[in-house]
Structure 1
Amino acid sequence: MKMQLLTPKDMLRHNAHLVLRLLRYNAELSRSEIARMTGSSRSTISHIMQYLEEKKLVVPCGIGNKGVGRSSTLFRFNPEARYGVGIDITKDGISGIMADLQGTIIAHKKYGIGEFSPESVARQIRHIYSSLCGQVSIPQEFIVGIGVMVPGPVDSEGTVIRSVELSWQGPVNLEQLIEESAVNQTQLPPLSIINNANAKALAEACFNINNDSANIVYIENHKGLGAGFVDSHYTLLYGSSGIAMEVGKMFVHNNGVFTQADSFLVINDESVVKQLKKGFQSENPLQDEDVRLISDILAQVISQIAALFNPRKVILDVPYIQNEQSLKFIKKALLKYVNSSSLIPSPLVELPSVQRAHSALGGIAQAILHSPFDFVLKSTLSDL
């Protein structure tokens, strides 16, 4: 296999992302400190810093003197250079937030709606965007985009294939409906439609408090078993049909019958479906016996995912596993399946770090990653 050599431009992109990453998670650094920490030349760092200053992504914040040589200008990351809007659609209503490039929320709004037709939802999305803008004084040109999270499969073009939760039985071009719902043809920032499980995976990868969540699988068990896989480059893994969520995605209907879109992982045991359905439809806390049984099922799913994708971490968002005590059932069951094959690595299994109330951060991550400012979160700087 022929090794692909990195070009000078590739190296420049890599170093630029590394500089921005250092500045995001260090209070303040000088050019010489950045050069030393990255192993890059002063001239390379000066070129990158000039670019980042022009974008307002870094700003000078004082003078530093470490006691050796002359004083140097210190720089810090400026998360307020741009903002994103995330909108999360669920059966309980529509919630929206506006946040900066570091995920700090500056405005939020939630509406309960009684009518979930695609046209009504499109109008509500415009309304909630206007409400968010009314709470803050942010010029629209500083908003990189709007990420809309939908419960259901979304293809690579942003079309919602179906949504059982919202009773959308056929394809819905939600982006077009939002554009057409304008009363006075008000121009919106770029729109991006994404499946909610995928968006939550992006939120964990991009805004995790420990900043260590790239190469993860995010699994949620609510209306079905939804999942999203984010690789080490903060990119969603897409299935063969162009739907980016399929690591065992199931849609479970009220009669217990499930349909499957496009999947890397097939679960077709009716008893499994019934147990998962029991878990997310139960109004009362599950007994330990039920939790153990469902945990065993999820452990099998995780072990298969580990064999296929070797993720570093699996995030579980399920209503009946909300603390470390209940999480231990899955960890214990997982050891049984992982140990059965020395070829299967055991991923970390954790609860979500992004609060459920802030799940719309996933929409913001999607908006940023589909904007010219994607390099703030990703490992490339495409427009240098």
Structure 2
Amino acid sequence: MKPKSTGDLALIKKINTSIVLDSVIQHAPLSRALISEKTGLNKATVSSLVQDLIDSHLVLEIGPGKSSGGRKPTLLLFNEKAGFAIGIDLGVNYIKGLLVDLSGNVVADNYRKLKPKQTEEVLKTLTEAIDELILKAPESEYGIVGIGIGVPGIVDDQGTILFAPNMKWRHVELKRLLEDRFKVPVTIDNEANAGAQGEQKYGAGRDIPNQIYVSVGIGIGTGIILNSELFKGSSGFSGELGHLSIQYDGKPCSCGNNGCWELYASENALLEQAAPTGLESLEELLQAAEDGDERVRSLFSNIGTYLGVGIANIVNVFNPNVVIIGNRMSRAAEWLSPAMQAAIDQRTLPYHRDKLRILFAELREQSAVRGAAYYAISEFFTKIKSL
């Protein structure tokens, strides 16, 4: 039998280092002995790997813990301030940004409104938002480890936005442009996928294996998580359920289809229907509903019905544990919910809705930006664990 090669041993060390680091991240504060117990790795291996992680500034010793009879063990903690990541939710009419530490805790944020502009102007505003967050980052060993961005469109695996109909963007090489500008890894994904990841990691979707995140903003997008993994389809483009046809001979959509769900159940649809009221923004409509304006409440109810129609289709196809509604329209939960739930109850198959839960995003409007930041953190850990 051939002896194991150096490459094999190096791979084993990488795997074991990853196991130890994950144990510290998930269970800290804990001792080396407890890591050995949880992972099944022998104590000598754990001690060696922990020292490597301490030398890499990813793990800290924080002092003695309680003794179980012998010498007090030294407790270990993940150094979440060893680096920082930036998350961006690039909306049709806004840019939302976050600076987070390696545990996803928010350190700083910013927000910019966007008006319909040329691509170059949007990119200029985007880089300004990122620059501002970088300047707010504390000194750290790894600095800015990466940038994650959620965008309202179809993104390929090279980080190119192939088509963003509500922004009128085609073939924008966003990943390349930003990596050239900022010299750090950049991850680009559809904002609904980012929202799904944000809710799964930090919000209402924690520990739920099958969930559909419905991002209701100017348009509608969906992030699909099946068996705890983001489902992206054979080409990486799944989740465009905002373009389900719910009306065969319906209104034309900017995607080229007719009768798309988002034409009837999105913020854009609400604003179109609200035009006769003279109220021109979601914020004004929310305030009017709060003040008891029955016309506006009826508008929200109508949107809720159409939301329920689309969600019923999703439930009948995917049979998820939960559907989570996020993005800007989640702020109207109080006035959307009754009509939405009635449509879901009427249109879903009984066995599919038996254990179904409909939730509104725990992170509210921050699901996508938190998920985008998580992409950057995840990419950093992937890189660190492969060293």
1:192 aligned residue: 187
CA distance in 1, matches of 2:52, 2:226: 27
Structural RMSD (CA): 3.9
Corresponding residue of 1:105:
106
Q: In the TM superposition, what is the alpha-carbon distance from 1:74 to its structure 2 partner?
A: 0.4
Q: Is the 8 A contact 1:256 1:273 kept in 2?
A: no
Distance 1:368 1:289, change over 3 A: closer
- Does the C-alpha gap of structure 1 residues 321 and 97 become closer, same or farther in structure 2, counting only changes over 3 Å? closer
Distance of 1:138 and 1:280 partners within structure 2: 45
Call closer, same or farther: CA 1:340–1:115 in 2, change over 3 Å.
Answer: closer
How big is each residue's C-alpha offset from its partner over 1:300-346, in whole Å with a ceiling of 9 and x where there is no partner? 13313424xxx44432126267447854665565566665447x884
Structure 1 pair 292/327, CA: closer, same or farther in 2 (3 Å)?
closer
Structure 1's 51 and 237: CA in aligned 2 closer, same or farther, altered over 3 A?
Answer: farther
* 1:218 to 2:226 alignment: no
Whole-angstrom distance in 1 between the partners of 2:325 and 2:172: 29
Distance (Å, rounded) in 2 between the aligned partners of 1:204 and 1:223: 20
CA distance 1:26–1:250, change in 2 (3 Å): same
1:229 to 217, 224, 243: 224
Q: How far off its partner does 1:356 sit?
A: 1.4
For 1:209 and 1:19, how far apart are their aligned partners in 2? Answer: 28
Corresponding residue for residue 350 of structure 1: 359
Distance 1:209 1:331, change over 3 A: closer
Give % identity: 24
Match of 2:251 among 251, 256, 278: 256
> 1:250–1:356: structure 2 CA closer, same or farther, 3 Å change rule?
same
CA distance in 2 between partners of 1:165 and 1:72 (Å): 57
TM-score for the superposition, normalised by structure 1: 0.75
Q: Which one has a bigger Cα radius of gyration?
A: 2
Q: Is the 8 A contact 2:215 2:222 kept in 1?
A: yes
Aligned residues: 352
After TM superposition, the structure 1 stretch with the greater mean CA deviation from structure 2, 45-54 or 11-20, is 11-20
Q: Please report how far the alpha carbon of residue 66 of structure 1 lies from its aligned counterpart in structure 2 after TM superposition.
A: 3.1
| Residue aligned with 1:70, SS | coil
Deviation at 1:102, TM superposition (A): 1.4
Report the TM-score when normalising by structure 2: 0.74
Structure 1 pair 247/188, CA: closer, same or farther in 2 (3 Å)? Answer: same
* Aligned position for 1:4: none
Which consecutive residues of structure 2, in runs of 5 or more, have no partner in the other structure?
1-7, 275-284, 286-295
Match of 2:316 in 1: 304
In the alignment, the residues of structure 2 paired with residue 109 and residue 273 of structure 1 have an alpha-carbon distance, to the nearest angstrom, of 27
Aligned to 1:202: 197
| Cα distance change, pair 179–80 in 1 and its aligned pair in 2 (3 A) | closer
